[in-house]
Amino acid sequence: MRDFVPAAKAGEGSKVSNSARPSVVFCHGIWADGSCFSKVIPPLQAAGYEVMSAQYGLDTNIGDVAAVKRTLDRVKSPAILVGHSYGGAVITAAGIDDRVIGLVYIAAIAPDADETSQSEQDKFPQTEIFKNIEVTGGRVWMRPEGVKYFCGGLSEQEQELVYATHYAPDADLFNHNAPGTAWKTKPSWFIVAKQDHTVHPDLERAAAKRMNASTIEIDSSHVPMLSHPDIVVDVIRKAAEAARSQAA
């Protein structure tokens, strides 16, 4: 597991021109949409990065990956893909695109070619969130009491907002996988959430280890980009600078 070195703060250290910086494309997980990155997008934009947050329907893996590739069509530079939770499976497949030069996983899953999101999770103890869900209309919804296991550590008001806006995935989404395993060929970074009750922290550690990712562990629930946005921004900036250097 490679060591993690925090990136410089905005305006410190790097002399790279804005035009040389990679673009950053965010990929959300289930029970979310692209707005879940609202605390980390503005600092990256202020530091000169082109940023887009892909929006997809959580209907099929292949459809979600196709939406990310359409987003890659819209950015001007080679991209860092940032995937949260199920978004890790999305960037694992979409990241084989030649326009992608690095991958950042946030409390994520990252199935191998012979795995699905579900089979990867089945290797570890079931987390509390999956005891607090219900399937209605072919979609998987959080029960109100489940939100504390998804985004504990946020204020009560923020938790209520997450619950009010959560978007349910297709009930069969985790049982399929889009082709492609980008972490086998692209440099990767991983943020492990030690207080995660959605994706098991030991799954995150195992995923980070097998991809030889530069890894940092933080005391966070499943949503570090909301609870620890400064750390997440630092990791992304470090990944962007390192991947740009390797791709040069």
Record the tokens describing residue 100, joined without a space: 């992608």
pLDDT at 3: 42
Query: Taking the CA atoms of the chain, what radius of gyration do you get in angstroms?
Result: 17
- Contact between 90 and 65 (Cβ < 8 Å): yes
Tokens 């980008």, residue located:
182
Enumerate domains of the chain plus CATH numbers. Answer: 18-125+173-247 (3.40.50.1820)
- Residue 74 makes CB contacts below 8 A (sequence gap 6+) with 52
pLDDT at 9: 35
pLDDT at 126: 95
CA-to-CA distance for 35 and 28, rounded, in angstroms? 8
Tokens 């999956």, residue located:
130
Tokens 């250290």, residue located:
13
pLDDT at 13: 33
pLDDT at 244: 84
pLDDT at 8: 38
Name beta bridge partners: 217.
192
Query: Model pTM?
Result: 0.91
Work out the angle at residue 64's Cα, subtended by the Cα atoms of residues 34 and 36, and round it to the nearest 5 degrees. Answer: 15
Strands 139-142 and 133-136: antiparallel
Torsion angle in degrees (nearest 10) through CA of 67, 211, 96, 53: 30
* Tens-level pLDDT at each residue, the chain (248 residues): 444 434 333 333 333 334 479 999 999 999 999 999 999 999 999 999 999 999 999 999 999 999 999 999 999 999 999 999 999 999 999 999 999 999 999 999 999 999 999 999 999 999 999 999 999 999 999 999 999 999 999 999 999 999 999 999 999 999 999 999 999 999 999 999 999 999 999 999 999 999 999 999 999 999 999 999 999 999 999 999 998 888 76
pLDDT at 215: 98
CA distance to 32, 52, 80, per residue, from 72 (Å) = 20, 9, 10
DSSP string, the chain: -PPP-PPPPTTSS----GGGSPEEEEE--TT--GGGGTTTHHHHHHTT--EEE----SS-HHHHHHHHHHHHTT-SS-EEEEEETTHHHHHHHHTTSTTEEEEEEES-----TT--HHHHHTTSPPPGGGGSEEEETTEEEE-GGGHHHHHBTB-HHHHHHHHHH--PPBTTGGG---S--GGGTS-EEEEEETT-SSS-HHHHHHHHHHTT-EEEEES--S-HHHHSHHHHHHHHHHHHHHHHHHH-
pLDDT at 186: 97
Classify each residue of 34-53 as buried b or exposed e, where b means 16 or more C-beta atoms within 10 Å of its C-beta.
bebbebbbebbeebebbbbb
